[in-house]
Structure 1
Amino acid sequence: MSSERVSLPFKLYCLTVMTLVAATYNVVVRYTRIASAEIMYFSTTAVCMTEVIKLILSIGMLARESGTPSKLLADIKEQVLCNPGGLLKLSVPSVVYAVQNNMAFVALSNLDAAVYQVIYQLKIPCTALCMVIMLNRSLGKKQWFSICTLCVGVILVQFKPVEATKVKVEQNPFLGFMAIVVAVFCSGFAGVYFEKVLKSSDTSLWVRNIQMYLSGIACTLMGVLLNDGDKVIEHGFFYGYTPWVWFVVFMGSVGGLYTSIVVKYTDNIMKGFSAAAAIVLSTVASFFLFGLHITSTFLCGAILVCASIYLYGLPVSKECADTESKQKPITV
């Protein structure tokens, strides 16, 4: 089913869910990182549990696709367990995504959710650069202009940092900004690499997800041992977990899988509206929940970022489309 053949209500449904997931996830992560400085959960374990739930959900989707339990077991055995090459191939984005997810927690521990949501849109130029280099794609002048506009908007947001008056914990805005920089590079590379792997064969999306999440669980467990191993042994894996923390884990899991549905059934313009709307919702939520002081430079920067996201998603010129159609087959 292509994006043109689905109904407008379904597109609006996808837009609404994706927007709410993106905005809510960042705001709730921010809340859990500043709500209690005494009993703080380990972010590495939350990232690991997110991968576990993604794996369970992906197996469920593959079961629905397979039709019968015997076919499901055969698919897992043949395409996952007996395919070390596939697991190795998908271990690359799983490691990068593990770093990205951990950096998101570091960033949201030191920056407001609205600021994070704006700066994180740097993933657009990073992804574009990776697409040009790794997929040999061409971008139109309009897209390059939107990327420059986005960068100007991010600079304005960082020019005079905003403050959240209701936040009493110690923060390091520079550390938060550097964490976002690492996260956007990870997001751009891992997303394009995963797309390249998907287009190199007819293997099911859910099989690829299972391969990636199995590697991701191994990677995130290693992160738990290296960063919080002693503390986990002393306090337990689920130390500091509250219903809000479990909500973060659930939202992170569903959000990652739901994005693939949105990509499949909608288009770039809808995704652009979603990202821009998520920025607005995060800003409003931060104003009321955290007492975010919205400056004129932040407001101008956020508007520029929203406009650039919309502009980037507009259809490319005929010349760029013709160039992309003549590309060589993708191989990994």
Structure 2
Amino acid sequence: SAMANEPASVVFKVYCLTVMTLVAATYTVTLRYTRTVSSDMYFSTTAVCMAEVIKLALSLGMLARESGGFSRWKSALVDHVVRSPRELLKLSVPSIVYAIQNNMAFIALSNLDAAVYQVTYQLKIPCTALCTVLMLHRSLSQLQWFSVFMLCVGVTLVQWKPAELTKVQVVQSPFIGFFAVAIAVLCSGFAGVYFEKVLKSSDTSLWVRNIQMYLSGILVTGIGVYLTDGPHVMAQGFFYGYTPWVCLVVFLASVGGLYTSVVVKYTDNIMKSFSAAAAIVLSTVASVLLFGLQITVTFGTGALLVCISIYLYGLPKQDTSVLARPDASKPTREKIIPM
């Protein structure tokens, strides 16, 4: 794979980030529509499982395109999937961790006020940055750290909703809620950076890696269907309540997942967080136009912070090596060292 070794062009990176952002925004709006407007409610667990199946199918197709012939495609699959149980296990880690993350998010939402949950859950952005520094031995400039936390605040404000005065039926435990959020945040940061490390530490094709990951993804989400909606799915069928709109949601989730893996391969997980933030802003704007939501001052402020933080993070790093050195009085040596 020649592409794996060449650095991706800036245009390609921007294209991938843009598509990923637009797909995520469309997905959010469509998902909201299917969860509020449609009559027969589909099982969300089956939708998640179907998205993994489609991701696998699309990745198989992309690998076929990359291999350029059936025999090479088949041998790639045999080598990397059938004969590599260790590689499969290695890539089942993110799938399992994401499953834990989703369950923790559910527990957290059941035990915390929605607004509190939104704020604490955004800590996954700095957590991802921290995992990137620790696991990939990368350094972030002070400005980049600042932009990461600014993004965190921006996303929080964008999603801030004034508390609805509803009586909570279940007994909530803030301690359990915060504990669940903490685990979800750590899972989110770890799983993303772990996948990035696996992608970048070898020349194995991105599509092979995706196939390895989505195989375990199908298994994990399939178990999720069985545990959560087993009896209902048995009674009403796997595709109960599926409309063309629901199919679109599943398709968008799949395409979004593939673009996410491309973005992680050619940029990094922190850029993924920035793209996700931009998608939240876009989908809210779209919801205003489609569902008549009211734009608030907090949303406007948050959206502005998100945009500024994305800009700041992308600025070229300032070279502070001269300033950092104690012997900065000898600048002649600095000039010789190529940066």
**TM-score class, shorter:** 0.7 to 0.9
The CA distance in 2 between the partners of 1:277 and 1:125, in whole Å, is: 16
- 1:19-45 Cα deviation digits (max 9, x unpaired): 321210111111111123x52111111
Superposed, 1:149-298 pairs within 5 Å as 149-157=150-158, 161=162, 185-262=186-263, 275=276, 277-298=278-299
The CA distance in 2 between the partners of 1:13 and 1:244, in whole Å, is: 26
240 and 100 in structure 1: CA distance in 2 versus 1, 3 angstrom threshold: farther
Contact 2:128 2:193 in 1 (8 A): yes
Please name the residue that 2:3 is paired with.
none
16 and 196 in structure 1: CA distance in 2 versus 1, 3 angstrom threshold: closer
| Correspondent of 2:24 among 22, 25, 31 | 22
The CA distance in 2 between the partners of 1:118 and 1:22, in whole Å, is: 20
Please name the residue that 2:69 is paired with.
68
Superposed, 1:62-141 pairs within 5 Å as 62-99=63-100, 122-141=123-142
User: Which amino acid is 1:132 matched to?
Assistant: V
User: Which amino acid is 1:87 matched to?
Assistant: L
User: Which amino acid is 1:20 matched to?
Assistant: L
The CA distance in 2 between the partners of 1:223 and 1:241, in whole Å, is: 18
Contact 1:97 1:186 in 2 (8 A): yes
277 and 88 in structure 1: CA distance in 2 versus 1, 3 angstrom threshold: closer
- 1:280-319 Cα deviation digits (max 9, x unpaired): 4212211122222222122212221232232223233435
Please name the residue that 1:47 is paired with.
48
User: Which amino acid is 1:193 matched to?
Assistant: Y
Query: So what's the TM-score if we normalise by structure 2?
Result: 0.75
The CA distance in 2 between the partners of 1:107 and 1:52, in whole Å, is: 28
The CA distance in 2 between the partners of 1:155 and 1:276, in whole Å, is: 10
Highest Rg: 1 or 2? 2
Q: Secondary structure at the match of 1:318?
A: coil
Compare 74-83 and 12-21 and name the one that shifted more.
Answer: 12-21
Contact 1:21 1:251 in 2 (8 A): yes
Contact 1:162 1:293 in 2 (8 A): no
The CA distance in 1 between the partners of 2:263 and 2:215, in whole Å, is: 23
The CA distance in 1 between the partners of 2:149 and 2:18, in whole Å, is: 28
Compare 203-212 and 260-269 and name the one that shifted more.
Answer: 260-269
Please name the residue that 2:57 is paired with.
56
Measured after TM superposition, the shift of residue 99 of structure 1 is 4.8
The CA distance in 2 between the partners of 1:232 and 1:82, in whole Å, is: 34
Contact 2:196 2:265 in 1 (8 A): no
Measured after TM superposition, the shift of residue 271 of structure 1 is 6.8
User: Which amino acid is 2:134 matched to?
Assistant: I
The CA distance in 2 between the partners of 1:196 and 1:15, in whole Å, is: 19
Please name the residue that 1:32 is paired with.
34
The CA distance in 1 between the partners of 2:266 and 2:108, in whole Å, is: 31
Measured after TM superposition, the shift of residue 199 of structure 1 is 2.5
94 and 319 in structure 1: CA distance in 2 versus 1, 3 angstrom threshold: farther
The CA distance in 2 between the partners of 1:221 and 1:191, in whole Å, is: 21
Aligned identity (percent) is: 71
Q: Secondary structure at the match of 2:282?
A: helix
Query: So what's the TM-score if we normalise by structure 1?
Result: 0.76
- 1:45-71 Cα deviation digits (max 9, x unpaired): 111000001111111111112222112
The CA distance in 1 between the partners of 2:105 and 2:253, in whole Å, is: 11
| Correspondent of 1:2 among 7, 13, 30 | 7
Structure 2 residue ranges without an equivalent (≥5) = 1-5, 110-116, 322-339
Q: Secondary structure at the match of 1:238?
A: coil
Measured after TM superposition, the shift of residue 262 of structure 1 is 4.3
